[in-house]
Amino acid sequence: MDSVLSEKRRQKLDTSDDDAFYAHPRFVTHADAGFVAALSSTYDDLLADGDSVFDAMSSWVSHLPEREYDRVVGHGLNAAELEANDRLDSWFVQNLNEKQTIPLDADGFELVTCALAVQYLQYPAAVFAEFVRLLSPGGHLVVSFTNRMFPTKAINAWRTADMDGRVALVESYCDTAGLAVEAVRRGRPESDPFVAVVARNAA
């Protein structure tokens, strides 16, 4: 049982295997240029040269600004997409709805990012606890989203909420994990709504 979501709120319309759904790469754009620029700027405000980044639920493109990174580690569900992501120094494939433990050392990252994908997490309490474990003291988590999704794979709690409700949902994930929400950035660059919840590891 997830400490944030009930069984009903965790349900998806498509209950088929996630690995099969994501087996074929989707080299598509999940947000417009304005959203990407706003997200990159959000990251840039939190980063310093030499920082390490864990890009959770990534794909063929990251949204990190131009900087000198110690390392950027990516995670996702499709190997071909991750292989095409030239921002990543290393990557691995894992279905977080089946296994929430992330195979990386604790306290290793100044920034953890989760862009355009949080709506698919069925066990967010466990996953966000892992994000906290990976963050260095004072490190930040940025969870960003717009109004786009694969609706059959998004959880019920997300599909039935408006944008304010989705912000509240992500804030509840952070709160349960012990993360301090510092800011909620909003905007409507070009056409896609932009939301980024910025939380800090206060440990």
For residue range 91-112, what is the model confidence (pLDDT) as tens digits?
A: 999 999 999 999 999 999 999 9
pLDDT of residue 2: 80
Asked if 190 contacts 32 with a C-beta cutoff of 8 angstroms, the reply is: yes
Instruction: Round the CA-based radius of gyration of the chain to a whole number and report it.
Output: 16
Q: Helix 163-177 and helix 124-134: axis angle, to 10°?
A: 60
Provide the 10 A C-beta neighbour count for residue 202.
Answer: 11
DSSP string, the chain: --SS--HHHH-BS--S-HHHHTSS-----SS-HHHHHHHHHHHHHH--TT-EEEEET--S-----S---SEEEEEES-HHHHHH-TT-SEEEE--TTT----SS-TT-EEEEEEES-GGG-S-HHHHHHHHHHHEEEEEEEEEEE-S---TTTSBHHHHTS-HHHHHHHHHHHHHHHTEEEEEEEEE--TTS-EEEEEEEE--
DSSP lists the bridge partners of residue 141 as: 112, 199
Give residue-wise pLDDT tens across range 51-91: 999 999 999 988 999 999 999 999 999 999 999 999 999 99
Q: What are the structural domains, with CATH classification, of the chain?
A: 7-201 (3.40.50.150)
Provide the 10 A C-beta neighbour count for residue 43.
Answer: 23
pLDDT of residue 27: 46
Residue 146 has pLDDT above 60, yes or no: yes
Residue 137 has pLDDT above 80, yes or no: yes
Residue 1 has pLDDT above 60, yes or no: no
Asked if 148 contacts 192 with a C-beta cutoff of 8 angstroms, the reply is: yes
Tell me the two tokens of residue 29.
């754009």
| Nearest alpha carbon to residue 155 among 122, 115, 125, 126 | 122
The chain-wide mean pLDDT, for the chain, equals: 92
